[in-house]
Amino acid sequence: MSAATAAPIRLDGVSKVYDGDVVAVENLSLDITAGELVALVGPSGCGKSTVLRMINRLLEPSGGAIHVGDRDVMATDPVLLRRTIGYVIQHVGLFPHQTISANVGTVPRLLGWSKRRVADRVAELLELVGLDVETFGERYPHQLSGGQRQRVGVARALAADPVVLLMDEPFSAVDPIARGRLQEEFLRLQADVGKTIVFVTHDVDEAIRLGDKIAVLSQHATLEQYGTPAQILAEPASPFVADFVGSDRGVKRLSVTSVSADELVEVPPGNHPEVPLTATLREALSALLDGDTGFVAVRDGDRTLGALGTEDIYRTLHADVER
* 319 membership: H or E segment, kind and range: helix 310-322
Q: Taking the alpha carbons of 204, 154, 70, 14 in that order, is the dihedral positive or negative?
A: negative
- In the bound state with ligand ATP, the residue whose beta carbon lies nearer, of 24 and 125, is 24
Contact between 24 and ligand ATP by CB under 6 A: the answer reads yes
Selected binder of ligand ATP within 14, 30, 48, 137 (CB under 6 A): 48
The string of DSSP codes covering 162-214 is -SEEEEESTTTTS-HHHHHHHHHHHHHHHHHH--EEEEEES-HHHHHHH-SEE
Q: Which is nearer to ligand ATP, 45 or 78 (CB)?
A: 45
Q: Which is nearer to ligand ATP, 55 or 297 (CB)?
A: 55
Separation CA 28–CA 65 (nearest Å): 10
Nearer to ligand ATP, 216 or 259 (CB): 216
Rounded to whole angstroms, the Cα distance separating 271 from 260 reads: 21
56 makes contact with ligand ATP (CB under 6 A): no
Between 23 and 123, name the residue whose CB sits nearer to ligand ATP: 23
Question: What angle in degrees, to the nearest 10, is found between the helix axes of 176-193 and 115-128?
Answer: 120
Single residue of 44, 80, 134, 247 touching ligand ATP by CB under 6 A: 44
Binding-site size for ligand ATP (CB under 6 A) equals 13
Q: Can you tell me which of 30, 47, 241, 254 binds ligand ATP, judged by CB under 6 A?
A: 47
Q: Which is nearer to ligand ATP, 89 or 193 (CB)?
A: 89
Nearest of 119, 176, 110, 121 to residue 147 by alpha carbon: 176
**Residue 21 touching ligand ATP (CB under 6 A):** no
- Tell which positions 185-224 bind ligand ATP, by CB under 6 A: 202
19 makes contact with ligand ATP (CB under 6 A) = yes
Does an H or E element contain 153, and which?
helix 146-158
The single-letter DSSP state of residue 258 is B
Query: Is 61 a residue that touches ligand ATP (CB under 6 A)?
Result: no
CB of 113 to ligand ATP, least distance (A): 34
* Residue selected from 18, 235, 289, 304 as contacting ligand ATP according to rule CB under 6 A: 18
Q: How many CA atoms lie within 13 A of 230 on its CB side?
A: 16
Q: Does 49 bind ligand ATP (CB under 6 A)?
A: yes
C-alpha to C-alpha distance for 100 and 107, rounded to whole angstroms: 13
Phi, psi (deg, nearest 5) at residue 232: -70, -40
CB of 45 to ligand ATP, least distance (A): 4
Choices 6-14, 47-55, 117-125, 141-149 (CB under 6 A): range interacting with ligand ATP: 47-55
One-character DSSP codes across 27-70:
EEEEEE-TT-EEEEE-STTSSHHHHHHHHTTSS--SEEEEEETT
Interacting residues with ligand ATP (CB under 6 A): 18-19, 22, 24, 42, 44-50, 202
